[in-house]
Amino acid sequence: MPEQSPIRVLHTLSRLIPGGVERRTLELIKATKNEPVEHIVCVMSGQTGTLDEEYRAAGAELHYIRLRSPMFPFHFTKLLKHRSIDVVHAMLLNASGYILALARMAGVQNRIAQFRSDGDINPIGVKRRLNRIILRCLIDRCATQIVGLTPRNLEIAWNRFWEEDPRCKIVPNGVAMLVDLPEQAEELSRFSSHSVIIHAGRADIPSKNREKAISVFAEYARHRPKSVLIFVGRDGKDEAHVQENRIKWRLLTQEYGIDDQVYFLGEKSSVLPYFSAADVLLFTSTWEGLPGIILEALSTGLPVVSTDVPGAEFIADQGLDVQILNAHDSDEKWGQALLSKPDKLSAFHRKQHMRQFGDSIFDLETSVRNYLELWQA
Q: Examine residue 2 and state whether it is found in any structural domain, yes or no.
A: no
Domain that holds residue 211: 186-358
174-202 tens-digit pLDDT: 998 888 899 999 999 999 999 999 999 88
Task: List, as own/partner pairs, every contact residues 305-312 make where C-beta atoms lie below 8 angstroms and the sequence separation is at least 24, other chains included.
Answer: 305/280, 305/281, 305/334, 305/337, 305/338, 305/341, 306/281, 307/209, 307/283, 309/118, 309/285, 310/118, 310/150, 310/152, 310/153, 310/156, 311/118, 311/149, 311/150, 311/152, 311/153, 312/283, 312/288
Q: Are residues 91 and 161 in the same domain?
A: yes
Using one digit for the tens of pLDDT, what is the confidence trace for 291-350?
A: 999 999 999 999 999 999 999 999 999 999 999 999 999 999 999 999 999 989 888 889
* Whether residues 128 and 76 fall in one domain: yes
Task: With respect to residue 180, please indicate whether it lies within any of the assigned structural domains.
Answer: no
Residue 181: inside a domain, yes or no? Answer: no
pLDDT band at 123 (very low <50, low <70, confident <90, very high): low
Q: Is residue 1 part of a domain?
A: no
Clarify whether residues 25 and 126 are in a common domain. yes
Asked whether residue 46 falls in the same domain as residue 92, the answer is yes
In a shared domain, residues 136 and 253: no
To the nearest whole number, what is the mean pLDDT of the chain? 94
**What is the reported pLDDT for 1?**
46
Residues 112 and 257 in one domain: no
Is the Cα torsion angle 15, 18, 20, 25 positive or negative in sign? positive
pTM of the full predicted structure? Answer: 0.87
pLDDT at 139: 98
Are both 305 and 197 inside the same structural domain?
yes
CA dihedral 118, 124, 130, 136 (to 10 degrees): 0
Q: How many domains does the chain have?
A: 2
> Do 34 and 169 fall into the same domain?
yes
Instruction: In whole angstroms, give the CA distance from residue 256 to residue 254.
Output: 5
**Residue 108 within a domain:** yes
Please, what is the Cα angle at 278 between 281 and 285, to 5 degrees?
Answer: 20
Identify the CATH number of the domain in which residue 67 sits: 3.40.50.2000
Tell me what percent of the residues of the chain surpass a pLDDT of 70: 97
Residue 154 and residue 195 share a domain: no
Residues 272 and 335 in one domain: yes
pLDDT in tens, 211-259: 999 999 999 999 999 999 999 999 998 899 999 999 999 999 999 999 9
- Please tell me the predicted confidence (pLDDT) of residue 2: 52
Same domain, 218 and 114: no
Q: 377 falls in which pLDDT band (50, 70, 90)?
A: confident
Residue 213 and residue 269 in one domain: yes
